[in-house]
Structure 1
Amino acid sequence: MTTKEFPTRDVLSTITGVLMGEIGGVYQVLNWMTGESVYTHQIPRISREAQPVIIALHPELAPAIAEAENVTQDNYTTWRDTWEDRYGLTIAVPKMTIAEHERIDPLSELAEKVSPDRIAARSAVRSAQ
């Protein structure tokens, strides 16, 4: 199994849905796990896919998922520090297999969430300029 070390705060942000650092860290974790360039609207779905994969490798992280319900804007640094003390500063993350991750075209997935006429593809925006 191929793994890569990521900051604990980014891994826990990914599996708990509570941002404990910069959003760029979540992108890095998910991009690595999927081998794709993840779009913002894909983060919730792919994080749900990633959670059991990471927990299977690190079952000791499971309590953090329940604990994340107690995290607020006022106490997140205390929780972040608690988790980093408990789990260390980095956590090894595996790549997801085809059975663990459903590859969906980002624009198609976005079209399922919003009206297609509200989607501005990069090439269309550039050609309009």
Structure 2
Amino acid sequence: MAEKAFPTGAVLSVVVDVLVSENHMQGIYEVLGWMTGESLYTHQLPRVGREATPVILALHPELEAAVAEAEQVNGDNWREWLATWKARYGETITVPLLTIEQHERIDPVSELAEMVPPEKLMIVEVK
């Protein structure tokens, strides 16, 4: 199984669903993009994060504790919280590639069309 190390904050942002990545959303895009082999759109991140979280936790069950602890994270204390986790597990955490059974590939435009009411969509053809 292929694995790659990413900054602890980026991986935790995926797992705990709280932004604690030092490079902000870019960290989440990098982790989930590598895990899926896709260039993801913003509206796809929540779904792909839900797919990736159990896979990451299966590889790193010790991160389960972070989920409960993250409930207390806010804009004022996230750096201290992240520092605690880095002290426990290091600067990086490895994540695996998602398999075809673990990740559903959905065309980003089609997925967005399913999320938005038809009257709110505007399709522009570029010629």
Same fold (TM over 0.5): yes
Equivalent of 2:56, from 54, 69, 83?
54
Give 1:116 deviation, angstroms: 4.0
Describe the superposition over 1:52-96 as per-residue Cα deviations: whole angstroms up to 9, x where unpaired.
Answer: 000111111110011111111111111111111111100111000
Tell me the equivalent position of 1:17.
17
Aligned residue in 2 for 1:26? 28
Counterpart residue number, 1:107:
109
Aligned equivalent of 1:85: 87
Aligned residues: 125
Q: Secondary structure at the match of 1:110?
A: helix
Q: What TM-score, normalized by structure 1, do the two folds share?
A: 0.90
- The 2-side partners of 1:65 and 1:4 are apart by 22
Greater fraction helix: 1
User: Which letter maps to 2:47?
Assistant: R
Question: Percent same amino acid among aligned pairs?
Answer: 57
Structure 2 counterpart SS, 1:62:
helix
Secondary structure of 2:95's counterpart equals strand
Q: Show the counterpart of 1:44.
A: 46
Question: What is the letter of the counterpart of residue 70 of structure 2?
Answer: A
Structure 2 residue runs without a partner (length 5+): none
Give ranges in structure 1 of 5+ residues lacking alignment. Answer: none
Moved over 2 A (4+): 115-121, 124-127
Classify the secondary structure of the residue corresponding to 1:93: strand
